[in-house]
A = this chain, B = another copy of it.
Amino acid sequence: MTKVALAFDLGGTELRGALVERNGRVVARVSAPTLAGAGSEAVIGQIISLAGRLLVERPQAEIAGIGVCAPGPLDPKAGIVIAPPTLAGWYDVPLLDILGRHFGLPVRLENDANAAALGEWRFGAGRGSGSVVFVTVSTGIGGGVVADGHIYHGRRGLAAEIGHMTITGEGDRCFCGAIGCFEAVASGTALGRHATRLTAPGDGSLLRRLSGDGNVSARHVVEAARAGDIRALELVEAEAKWLGIGFTNLLHLYSPDLIVMGGGLANGFDLLAPLVRGTVEARAMPAYRDVPIVQAQLGDQAGLVGAASLILREGKPGTSLAMAQNNERR
- Interface readout for A276-316 with B: 1 if CB under 8 Å, 0 if not? 00000011010110010000000000000000000000000
Contact with B along A12-41 (1 / 0, CB 8 A): 000000000000000000000000000000
Known: A249-B165, A320-B320. A255 touches B180 (CB 8 A): no
Of the residues B154, B254, B255, contact of A255 by C-beta under 8 Å: B154
Q: A176-B285, A287-B73 are in contact. Are A253 and B148 (CB under 8 A)?
A: no
Q: What residues of B have a CB within 8 angstroms of the CB of A180 in the complex?
A: 167-168
Q: Does A252 contact B (CB under 8 A)?
A: yes
A162 to B166 CA separation, bound complex (whole angstroms):
13
What's the Cα separation between A4 and B320 when bound, in Å?
29
A59 CB-CB contact with B under 8 Å: no
Least Cβ–Cβ distance between A111 and chain B, in angstroms: 11
Asked if B159 and A255 make an inter-chain contact with CB atoms under 8 angstroms apart, the answer reads yes
Query: Cβ of B287 and Cβ of A255 under 8 Å apart?
Result: no
- Chain A interface residue count, CB cutoff 8 Å, equals 46
Stoichiometry (number of copies): 2
Interfacial residues of chain A within 203-254, with CB under 8 A of chain B in the complex? 245, 248-249, 252-254
Chain B residue nearest to A164 in the complex (CB): B252
CB distance A161 to B255 under 8 Å?
A: yes
Chain B proximity of A40: nearest CB distance (Å):
19
In the complex, residue of chain B having the shortest beta-carbon distance to the beta carbon of A170: B169
Bound together, the chains give a CA A82 to CA B166 distance in angstroms of 30
* Smallest CB gap from A171: residue in B: B169
The answer to whether A248 and B166 have CB atoms under 8 Å apart is yes
Interface presence of A131 (CB below 8 A) = yes
Known pairs A165-B249, A166-B245; list 4 more (Cβ under 8 Å): A154-B256, A161-B252, A166-B167, A166-B283
